[in-house]
Amino acid sequence: MNFAIIGATGNVGRTTIKVLEKSKIKIDNLFLVASEKSAGNKLVFKQKEIIIEQLEKYDFSKAEITIFAAGSEIAKKWAPQASKKTIVIDNSKYFRMDKDVPLVVAEVNPHDLMNHNNIIANPNCSTIQLMLPLKPLHDKYKIKRVVVSTYQAVSGAGKESVDELFSQTKDYLDNKKINSRNFTKQIAFNLIPHIDSFVDDGYTKEEWKMENETKKILDKTIGLTATCVRVPVKTSHSESVNIEFENEYDLEKVKKILVNAPGCKVVDENKDGGYITPLEAEGDYSTFISRIRKDHSNNKALNMWIVSDNLLKGAALNTVQIAECLMKKKKEV
């Protein structure tokens, strides 16, 4: 099996290389592709150096599966022609709401992979980690409405944004002037209630994505409202979530469901430190759930805290899991 990564030098691309190294997929050749700027440089996969190829010169027929991690513009321009020669799994937002493109979280709706036209979309990182606990709870209790506030790491905005957090932090401590290039305001020692562009009704595109992707993946009847916030954390997104069910529920049963939820790990002790922080989730494949408790203002609702590595389950890991599902499906046919 041959694989390719478009955008191999970026945050998601580099993480995808690491996930593929650990995956059980037997890879004969891995092709790494990026912009002209990176062409000719090398990256290591399984102790072997691979020369990065330039996108414009790359032949898409070299790999059976191609993971795109280079943003919407590149996906828009290159994925349709690539899909004539390879199966595309795209990390960007470009194809997600296309009705002919499956939008898949591996543990939640792998059955949606049954029908695809060689393009599969990876959901937004904040959506993916939310879907993991919501799915089994929805199956059992039917979710009516979700209110979510996100605390999103800077690595979700690409490698240059991580550099900006580091340089601003240093400049702040050195009493130097702070420059913002990738964020609209200072991110070091601050937070910004704005991710992606604004849409007409006062929401941002990131908030819009969470609402609409949840409907596409899980159930169109679920109402969801989101406030998405960028915080000065390097990796892992956190979410404060209020879930309202159709009917009353049993908190102990909810906890049991979450303990058994695929891809999830419950860390929930009512004591100092008995919860997960973004730093602890970094590098881990699990989505962590903490602070599970009843909503005192509504006996059909509960609160929880969800944390996951945005570059792993929020991006690279889920795309590799999609590839594993596709290969399993191929074997079964």
Residue of 116, 138, 228, 237 marked active site: 237
Q: Specify whether the CB–CB gap between 292 and 234 falls below 8 A.
A: no
Q: Annotated catalytic, 228?
A: no
If binding is defined by CB under 6 A, does position 187 make contact with ligand NAP?
Answer: no
| Minimum separation from the CB atom of position 83 to ligand NAP (A) | 17
Annotation says 325 is catalytic? no
User: How near is the Cβ of 74 to ligand NAP at its closest, in Å?
Assistant: 5
Q: Would you state the structure tokens that stand for residue 172, as one six-digit string?
A: 């702040």
- Active-site residue among 125, 228, 264, 325? 125
Q: How far apart are CA 276 and CA 91, in angstroms?
A: 26
- One DSSP character per residue, 132-156 reads HHHHHHHHHH-EEEEEEEEEE-GGG
Minimum Å gap between C-beta 197 and ligand NAP is: 13
Q: For residues 58-77, which are near ligand NAP according to CB under 6 A? A: 69-72, 74
Binding of residue 278 to ligand NAP (CB under 6 A): no
Quote the tokens at residue 93: 């937002």
| Contact by Cβ (8 Å): 75, 62 | no
String of contacts with ligand NAP for each residue 304-333, x by CB under 6 A: ------xx--xx------------------
Least Å distance, CB 231 to ligand NAP, is 13
**Would you give the DSSP letter of residue 111?**
G
Q: Does residue 238 belong to the site contacting ligand NAP (CB under 6 A)?
A: no
Q: Which residue's CB is nearer to ligand NAP, number 137 or number 311?
A: 311
Tokens of 90: 């795209």
Please enumerate in sequence order all residues whose Cβ is within 8 A of that of 5, keeping only pairs 6 or more positions apart, or say none: 13, 16, 17, 30, 31, 32, 33, 66, 67, 69
- Binding residues for ligand NAP, rule CB under 6 A, total 28
The residue nearest ligand NAP at its CB is 10
Nearer to ligand NAP, 155 or 290 (CB): 155
Beta bridge partners of 49: 44
Cβ atoms 63, 86 nearer than 8 A = yes
Cα separation, 233 vs 69, in Å, equals 21
- What are the residues facing 22 on neighbouring strands? none
Q: Of the two residues 43 and 326, which places its CB atom closer to ligand NAP in the complex?
A: 43
Q: Quick one: 75 or 243, whose CB is closer to ligand NAP?
A: 75
Q: Which CB, 140 or 159, lies closer to ligand NAP? A: 159
Residue found under tokens 């602070």:
291
Minimum Å gap between C-beta 201 and ligand NAP is 22
Tokens of 241: 């979530």
Interface residues for ligand NAP in 36-55 (CB under 6 A)?
37-38, 55
Choices 31-39, 184-192, 205-213, 260-268; region in contact with ligand NAP by CB under 6 A:
31-39
Looking at 7, 133, 263, 278, which residue binds ligand NAP (CB under 6 A)? 7
In angstroms, the CA 308 to CA 272 distance is: 20
Looking at the Cβ atoms of 59 and 246, the one nearer to ligand NAP is: 59
Amino acid at 192: I
Q: Per the structure block, which two tokens stand in for 236?
A: 């892992």
User: What whole-number distance in Å separates Cα of residue 303 and Cα of residue 146?
Assistant: 10
Where does this chain bind ligand NAP (CB under 6 A)?
7-13, 34-35, 37-38, 55, 69-72, 74, 91-92, 125, 155-156, 158-159, 310-311, 314-315
Q: Which residues are catalytic?
A: 125, 237
